[in-house]
Structure 1
Amino acid sequence: MEHSLTSVLPAQRVAGMARLVCASTDGRTRLRRLYQDGSAKIRMPAVASDPLEAVLINTAGGLTGGDRLGWEVDVGAGASATITTQACEKIYRAASDRAEVRVKLTVGEHGRIAWLPQETIVFDRSAFARTLDVELAVDAEALLLEATVFGRLAMGERAAHGHFHDRWRVSQEGALVHAEDFRIGPGIAATLGRSAVAGGAIAVATVLMVSPRAAAFLDPARHIIGGQGDAGAWSVKKSGKLLARLFAEDGYQLRKRLVPLVELLNGRAGLPKLWSL
């Protein structure tokens, strides 16, 4: 009696891990170590000056239930790096289990990291969990962004149901300075439709800046965000933080706010090159 291979063999799953270590040498940030395994790849476009720019690539082209990706970036003392992704990460329908992405960022004294991935696009009936762990040394700075679009209205796609979990933990000098857990599901569209949540908007973003200069950007950040979210600023230990939340009716409208906001907060480094393509 013959059996279908699909009924015997488990589905192939994505597994990838990549790690980048950079350090300041002779006044420039330079690559020290690069490790890549599975579907996780890192490429570095040529840049004339700091920050070093790295592009994360998932060669699998998206994630579904059971897939696992890990990214680690270590920025040495006095070094500076901007991290982005080659494209939007797509989270597809999950037949079982959930897709997971784990991110670990470490920044040495007087170092700086800008974590600026392109949007995560969530499809209907998907299941996804992401963790972002950041450890900053004294006088280190970070600009962190995660943007998520629940469905693609232009393609007639809507993420009505699913499970999504985003967990952030940011520490400086060993002390927790920011923590949050964003969970939505199983009724994604119904929850986003509530006026106290997103009022029907399907594109959302969180931007966090940890820097002694953070409070100085509050008013211009609020001007850029307009009525599509808000921002606040606080003192934390010997530094400060600015936290912004944005929402929009679709990914295009969200990016129209994110682009000038990132340009403002990222200073002379501006946007990652791939954002303007």
Structure 2
Amino acid sequence: MSVAAVNPGLGLERYDGALRFRVADGRIHGLRQTPPMRLFRPYPELGEPRTVVVGNIAGGVVGGDRLAVDLSVGAGESLLATTQAAEKIYRSDGATASMNVDLSVAKNATLEWLSAGTILFDGSRLDRTTTLDIAPTGRLMFSETLVFGRLAHGEVFAGGALRDRIRFRRDGRLRWADDLALGGRVLDSLDAGAGFGGARSLSTLLFAAPGAGKAVESLRSLLEADRDLRAGATAIDPDLLVVRIMAADPAPARRLVGAVWTALRSAHLGRPARMPTIWAI
């Protein structure tokens, strides 16, 4: 049973849900899914690898939810994984939602993990840890976007709590760690010149592969094309590239994420220069 309790303030069910599977021998093995987490397996588009869509059928995350995704790609396998829609983190009654994403890529394997993003409602509380463990000859393209508020409704993530961690390991050894913590008067941090400088979205892209750091120069013109966006790329080491995009309006940031993604996958993964169909829905 995955329903842990009922949120008394909002009348919403709290979930303890997980999705776990691995790709090996050309198949998906060990699939375990407990509500609200679900795995959808559409037919891959021409020229694309095996494709899966990770969904939260509850429609969002409430305070007290505990959700997890554990995905591993075996040696020599390829997988394109995206999410069904942007994850909505609802206003909390005081409890903190937790999410854990664990992705592993074995030798000579390729994983593209393309999140549709995470929208933090005002008053939401989220603690999330993403762990990426890649073999020396594995390849990973990872993307996540945080949107600070229901901006289309005129709502900003002005108060609440966020703790978002990313841990990147190569062959089990920690090579890059990133921590973001926001709490209390969040809007002050979002507007501060020494903070987010008015940005309402933050996108992070990681490309890990042998020689990935060399892609910095090829991305420069893309990242500098829109003066309203703050974007940059850094080669953490010869085999790891990190791209960050900050924007007051998430829409052009989303377009830039797509442009960077398609450029990298076309040039370095030998795949079509396009985004998954679900990205346009």
With structure 2 as the length reference, what TM-score do the two structures score?
0.88
The share of aligned pairs that are identical, in percent, is 33
Secondary structure, in 3 states, of the residue corresponding to 2:14? coil
The one-letter amino acid paired with 2:37 is: A
Aligned to 1:259: 258
Shift of 1:33: 3.2
Question: Aligned in 2, Cα 1:6/1:54: closer, same or farther, shift over 3 Å?
Answer: closer
Aligned residues: 265
Task: Identify the residue that residue 42 of structure 2 maps to in structure 1.
Answer: 45
Which runs of structure 1 show a deviation greater than 4 angstroms over 4 or more consecutive aligned residues?
none
Greater radius of gyration (CA) = 1
Residue matched to 2:248:
249
Tell me the C-alpha RMSD between the 2 structures: 2.0
Task: Name which of 178, 181, 185 aligns with 2:179.
Answer: 181
Q: How do 1:1-277 and structure 2 match up within 5 A? A: 12-25=13-26, 30-47=27-44, 48-226=46-224, 227=227, 228-235=230-237, 240-267=239-266, 268-269=271-272, 270-277=274-281
For the residues of structure 2 that align with 1:147 and 1:77, how far apart are their CA atoms?
28
- 1:6 offset after TM fit, Å? 8.9
SS of the equivalent of 1:125 reads coil
Inter-CA distance 6–67: structure 2 relative to 1 (3 Å threshold)? closer
Alpha-carbon distance, 1:112 to partner: 1.2
Structure 1 residues 220 and 186: alpha-carbon distance in aligned structure 2, compared to 1, 3 A threshold: farther
Contact preservation (8 Å) 1:44, 1:55:
yes
| 1:6 to 1:124, Cα distance in 2 relative to 1, 3 A | closer
Say if 1:223 and 1:197 are closer, same or farther in 2 by CA, change over 3 A. Answer: farther
- Which amino acid counterpart does residue 33 of structure 1 have in structure 2? G
Structure 1 residue identity aligned to 2:88: K
Distance 2:145 2:116 in 1: 7
Partner AA of 1:221 in structure 2: L
**What residue identity is the alignment partner of 2:20?**
R
> What residue ranges of structure 2 are gaps of 5+ in the alignment?
1-5
What is the CA distance between 1:101 and its match in structure 2?
Answer: 0.9
The residue type paired with residue 41 of structure 2 is: M
